[in-house]
């Protein structure tokens, strides 16, 4: 049959028929081998493909602690060195993750060890000084560098920064040069002014239309910060090629600042506002939006980041190690009854 087809096809040249037929047989044989290999060979996927289709349904997120201020704390707190607001723990748990506290003032080997066993790290809000040695910023710098290394090796590992954590991502993205400027955006709820790239960002591309509508038209994002990241400083210190700016806001003086951003290369995300406060913080001194739409929008960010953590397949080396590392081993202190409290509950640590 094949010879008949080839002979018919080349009948216009009897002289070249044997040569051309031989070449066509060879070419046809090559094509047949390629077709068979497509059906008979195993399908190979990249690490990214595997991460997309295979999720870890027992994600554990590490939350970095931060130093207690030296002054203005109750005398009985003097024995404690660091803390984590319980609202961040509840926030991650609300989206289906468990939490492991990560301590400040540790060695790089400590951070490599713990990060090889958790599925992402959250940098929380606060008011630490990034220039203080062996504290929040130094620990964050090691975590940031280790997370980049994981991702470059094909091990998906996300980072999230809220308010101070957002500012830390900017600081580290600028190679520890301060890209922030003073601003006035404290105790105010704002809507987001989305930039054109929001539709292709990982943070918002899959967000339901209702969430985008709420965020862009209602004052539901909770702002408590006195430093801001401007578009100009991103260009100057961080590089537009490295970071995608997704939304902007204006402070009380009309200064435009970045309110959400993500790395273009790594699964690193930051928001200048506080989603967790709408759900878990109740200080009457804070003008926190608690309405249904504010809570709905806030929950979206927790769900997004925890789902990113599900793409990481790190795990604890033993069940015993996992149980001993979880934050369930600690009891939060109820601080909401204090006159000038800022968080309903705090986890306090002696290291």
Phi, psi of 191 (to 5 degrees): -95, 160
Q: How far apart (Å, rounded) are the C-alpha atoms in residues 57 and 55?
A: 6
Q: How far apart (Å, rounded) are the C-alpha atoms in residues 254 and 167?
A: 20
Averages of pLDDT over each 10 residues, the chain, 351 residues: 34 36 41 35 36 83 94 87 97 98 97 98 95 92 98 98 98 96 97 97 98 98 97 94 96 98 98 98 94 98 98 97 98 89 93 87
The pLDDT, as a whole number, for residue 52 is 53
**DSSP helix, strand, coil percent of the chain (3-state; round to 5):** 40, 20, 40
Q: What residues contact residue 209 under an 8 Å CB cut-off, 6+ apart?
A: none
Q: Which of 3, 163, 191, 225 is catalytic?
A: 163
The pLDDT, as a whole number, for residue 295 is 98
Query: What pTM did the predictor assign?
Result: 0.85
Question: Which residue bears the tokens 């928001």?
Answer: 271
The pLDDT, as a whole number, for residue 342 is 82
Active site residue 12: no
Active site residue 225: no
The pLDDT, as a whole number, for residue 338 is 80
Nearest to 124 by CA among 339, 298, 270, 244: 270
DSSP string, 7-52: HHHTTT-TTTHHHHHHHHHHHHHHHHHHHHHHHHSPPP--HHHHHH
- What is the residue extent of each domain of the chain? 60-349
Q: What is the pLDDT of residues 197-216, one digit of tens each?
A: 999 999 999 999 999 999 99
Q: Which of 183, 274, 313, 314 is catalytic?
A: 274
Is 60-349 a domain of CATH 3.40.50.880?
yes
């Amino acid at each position: 049959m094949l010879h008949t087809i080839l002979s018919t096809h080349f009948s216009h040249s009897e002289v070249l028929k044997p040569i051309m037929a031989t070449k066509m047989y060879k070419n046809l044989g090559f094509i047949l081998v390629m077709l068979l290999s497509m059906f008979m060979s195993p399908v190979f996927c990249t690490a990214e493909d595997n991460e997309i289709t295979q999720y870890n349904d027992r994600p554990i997120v590490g939350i970095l602690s931060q130093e207690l201020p030296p002054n203005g704390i109750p005398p009985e707190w003097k024995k404690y060195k660091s803390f984590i607001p319980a609202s961040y723990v509840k926030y991650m748990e609300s989206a289906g993750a468990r939490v492991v506290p990560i301590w400040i003032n540790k060695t790089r080997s400590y951070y490599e060890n713990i990060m090889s066993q958790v599925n992402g790290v959250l940098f929380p809000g606060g008011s630490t000084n990034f220039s203080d040695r062996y504290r929040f910023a130094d620990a964050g710098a090691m975590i940031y560098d280790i997370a980049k290394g994981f991702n470059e090796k094909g091990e998906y590992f996300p980072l999230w920064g809220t308010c101070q954590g957002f500012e830390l991502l900017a600081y580290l993205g600028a190679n520890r040069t301060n890209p922030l400027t003073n601003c006035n955006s404290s105790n105010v709820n704002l809507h987001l002014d989305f930039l054109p790239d929001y539709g292709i960002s990982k943070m918002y591309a899959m967000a339901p239309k209702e969430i985008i509508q709420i965020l862009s038209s209602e004052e539901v994002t909770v702002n408590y910060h006195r430093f801001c990241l401007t578009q100009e400083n991103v260009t100057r210190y961080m590089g537009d090629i490295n970071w995608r700016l997704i939304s902007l806001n204006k402070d009380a003086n009309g200064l435009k600042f970045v309110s959400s951003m993500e790395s273009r290369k790594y699964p690193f995300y930051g928001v200048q506002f506080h989603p967790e406060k709408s759900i878990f913080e109740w200080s009457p001194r804070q003008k926190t939006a608690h309405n249904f739409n504010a809570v709905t929008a806030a929950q979206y960010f927790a769900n997004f980041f925890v789902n990113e953590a599900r793409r990481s397949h790190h795990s604890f080396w033993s069940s015993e190690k996992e149980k001993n590392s979880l934050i369930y081993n600690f009891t939060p202190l109820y601080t909401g009854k204090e006159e000038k409290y800022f968080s309903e509950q705090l986890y306090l640590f002696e290291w």
